[in-house]
Amino acid sequence: MLSTRFRRWAIAALAVSALALPGHVLAQTPEHPAGNSAEFPTKNDLKSMTRSGSYLAARHASVERDAGSAAAFYRSALRKDPKNSELLDRAFISSLADGEIDEAVKLADRILAHDKSNRVARLVVGVRDLKQKRYTTAQLNINQSVRGPITDLVATLLSAWASSGAGDTKAAVAHIDKLTGPEWYPIFKDLHAAMILELANREKDGGARLERAYKLDDSMLRVVDAYARWNSRNKDGAAAAAIYEAFEKKLPRHPLVQEGLREVRAGKKLPPLVDSAQAGAAEALYGIGATLTRRGGEDLALVYLQLALYLAPNHPLALLSLADLYESVKKPAMAIKVYERVPASSPLKRNAQIQLATNLDAVDRSEEGIKILKEVIDQTPKDVEAIMALGNIERSRKKFSDCALTYSKGIDAMPATPEKNAWVTYYYRGICEERSKQWAKAEADMRKALELQPEQPHVLNYLGYSWIDQGVNLDEGMKMIKRAVDQRPDDGYIVDSLGWAYYRIGNFEDAVKHLERAIDLKPEDPTINDHLGDAYWRVGRTLEAKFQWQHARDLKPEPEELPKIDAKIANGLPEDTSSSSAAADKKKEDGKGG
C-alpha cells in the first residue's frame, strides 16, 4: 500500500504516460453476467458469427467493460481476418486486460513482427521473457517499452530485476541508481535496490538502502514490512517490532503488520519480501499498479496488476488491488472472481472474505455473502468490520430483526466508552429497531448516536422525522430536520423529510415548496414523487397530483405501496386523511447511510 503523497505524484505523472490503452475494457455484459454458470461466449457462439458480427459484439463488450467477452470476440474476428492490424491490436489489449497473458503474449509477438515500436507489446513480451528466465532478451524488450515517468520507472525496475536474475547484482543496482526523474522515484529506487541486494545475500548493503527508504516514508507498507524483516534477521525482534508498532499507530490493525508483530515477538527471523527475480518484478508491477487503481489510471493499473499476477499468481496484495479496481468501476462480478483467488493461508484472506461477501450481495447473491460473513464472525466473534458488513447486508435486504441483533454484536465488541465514530453503529441499529417495530429501543439508539455526533445530519433527519410522523416532539423534530437540511441542502432525501414534515403538521404550502425542491434533487425517487402528489392534492392541484402519483407508480415503488398509489390515482385523497402518512417509508436512510 503506497503513501498518499506518492499517489498524488503518480497521478500527476500519469498524464504524460505513453501507454495508451482503450477505455472500457473491463467487465460483464448485462446480457451475460458473470454469475451465470454457462461461459459466454462459447465456441459455438463464436463459430456461428461473421467477422463483422464478432467485431460489433466485441465493441459492445468493450463499451460494457467486459474484457473477457471482448477478447474472445476480437480473436474470433481476427481468425477470419488475420492480417487486420486493428483487430490484432484490440484482441491483444483485451486479452491483456482480462489477464489472459499467455494469449496476449502470442498476439504481442505478432504485433512486433510488423510494428517493432509498440511499447505495450514490448513490455508484455519482456515480462514473459523475465518469467521464463531469459534475462538478456527480457532487458532488451523492457528497455524498449519506456516513455514517461511511470513507464520509465517500471521498465527500469523490471530491467534491474532481469539483471538480478542473471546474477549481475552490481549492474542491477547501478541501473536503478542511474534513473533520474520526479521526486517520488527515490523511495522505489531504494526499496528495489535493497531487495536485489538482499537476494544476493548482501544484507548490510540492503539494510542501508532500506533504512534510507524508511526515512523517506515510514508510512509505506512495503517499505515498513521489508525494513522490519531485515531488522529481525540482522538486529533483533525488538527493533523489528518497534518498526511495526510505529506503523500500527498510523494505520491500526493491518493484517500483514499484525502478523509480522506476532512473529517477531515470538522470536522468529523473517525472510525478505521476495525470493526470486520474478517475485521482485511482480512486486514492482504491483506497487505501481496499486497506486494507479483509484487515481484515474485504471487501464494502466490493470495492465500492471495483471502482469504482476502473471509472475506471482498468488500475490495477495496484487489480488486485492485488482479486485478493488473492479469495484471502483462497479463490476462486482469480476471482483468476486479475484477475491476468491486470495490464498487461504494469507493474513489478508479475512479481508478478502469480507469484500467478497459485499460483492456477492451486490450481484444479488446475498445469502452466500451472509454465510461467508457468519463464518468469519464465528472464527473471530469480535471482528467489528465483519459484523458491520453483515449488518449492512441484512439491513439493505430488509432483514430488520436480524440486523438489529447483528449491530448489537458490534456494539458489544466495542470499548466500554465508545469512540465518536461508533455513532453509525447505533444509528444503523436504530433503523433496524424502528423498522422491526421496536421504537423505544430505536429512539434510545438515535439519541446515543447524537450524543456521539451531535450534529450528524442523517441522524437528525431520521429522529426528527420519526417524531413528527408519530405526532410527538413536533417543535424539536422540525428543528432537527431543519438543521439537517442546513448541512445537506442538496440531499433530496433530507429535503423530502422537511417537506413531508410540513405536510404532517398541515402546512401544505410549505410542503409543496420543499417537496418540489426534493424532486429537483431526486427526480426518479418514487416516494418523493408520491409525497409531492399528496401535497399537490391538498392545495387543490389535483391534475398535477395525479400526474405525480402516476409517475411514482411508474418508478417501481415498494410492492406494499403500489396498491395505495393506485387507489389515490383512482380516487384521490379522502378528506379525513389530511395528516396521514401516505407511504411515509423511512427509506431515506435504510440503505444509504455511511
pLDDT per residue of the chain (594 residues) written in tens, 0 to 9: 333 332 322 222 222 223 333 333 333 333 334 443 345 576 666 666 788 888 888 888 888 878 888 899 999 989 999 999 999 999 999 999 999 999 999 999 999 999 999 999 999 999 999 999 999 999 999 999 877 778 889 999 999 999 999 999 999 999 999 998 888 899 999 999 999 999 999 999 999 999 999 999 999 999 999 999 999 999 999 999 999 999 999 999 999 999 999 999 999 999 999 999 999 999 999 999 998 876 667 888 999 999 999 999 999 999 999 999 999 889 999 999 999 999 999 999 999 999 999 999 999 999 999 999 999 999 999 999 999 999 999 999 999 999 999 999 999 999 999 999 999 999 999 999 999 999 999 999 999 999 999 999 999 999 999 999 899 999 999 999 999 999 999 999 999 999 999 999 999 999 999 999 999 999 999 999 999 999 999 999 999 999 999 999 999 999 999 999 999 999 999 985 444 443 344 444 443 333
The pLDDT value given to residue 151:
86
For the segment 230-266, what is each residue's pLDDT rounded down to a tens digit?
999 999 999 999 999 999 999 999 999 999 999 999 9
The pLDDT value given to residue 24:
33
Q: How far is CA 53 from the centre of its chain?
A: 34
The pLDDT value given to residue 581:
43
The pLDDT value given to residue 15:
27
The pLDDT value given to residue 63:
80
Q: Is-contact 501 470, C-beta < 8 A? A: no
Please list, in sequence order, all residues whose beta carbon lies within 8 angstroms of the beta carbon of residue 163, skipping any fewer than 6 positions away.
135, 139, 169, 171, 172, 175
Domain coordinates in residue numbering, the chain: 19-114, 455-590
- Residue closest to 112 by CA, chosen among 123, 102, 101, 100: 123
Please list, in sequence order, all residues whose beta carbon lies within 8 angstroms of the beta carbon of residue 121, skipping any fewer than 6 positions away.
92, 107, 108, 109, 111, 112, 115
Q: Is-contact 17 300, C-beta < 8 A? A: yes
The pLDDT value given to residue 526:
97
The pLDDT value given to residue 44:
62
**CATH second-level architecture of 19-114?**
Alpha Horseshoe (1.25)
CA distance 201 to 271: 12
CA distance 499 to 286: 51
Q: Concatenated DSSP letters for 237-279?
A: HHHHHHHHHHHHHHSTT-HHHHHHHHHHHTTPPPPPS-SSHHH
- Residue closest to 321 by CA, chosen among 330, 308, 310: 308
Q: Is-contact 372 386, C-beta < 8 A? A: no
Count of residues in the chain: 594
Query: Which sign, positive or negative, has the C-alpha torsion 521, 526, 529, 535?
Result: negative
- Residue 216 backbone dihedrals phi, psi, to 5 degrees: -70, -40
- Helix, strand, or coil here: 280? helix
CA distance 303 to 508: 58
The pLDDT value given to residue 39:
52
Q: Could you tell me the three cell numbers for 501?
A: 414534515
The pLDDT value given to residue 18:
30
CA distance 482 to 495: 9
- Helix, strand, or coil here: 297? coil
CA distance 220 to 123: 26
How many C-beta atoms surround the C-beta of residue 343 within 10 A? Answer: 13
The pLDDT value given to residue 147:
76
Q: Which CATH class is domain 455-590?
A: mainly alpha
- Helix, strand, or coil here: 525? coil
- Which amino acid is it at 470? Q
Q: Is-contact 543 559, C-beta < 8 A? A: no
> Same CATH fold, 455-590 and 19-114?
yes
Q: Could you tell me the three cell numbers for 244?
A: 511495526
The pLDDT value given to residue 1:
37
The pLDDT value given to residue 294:
61
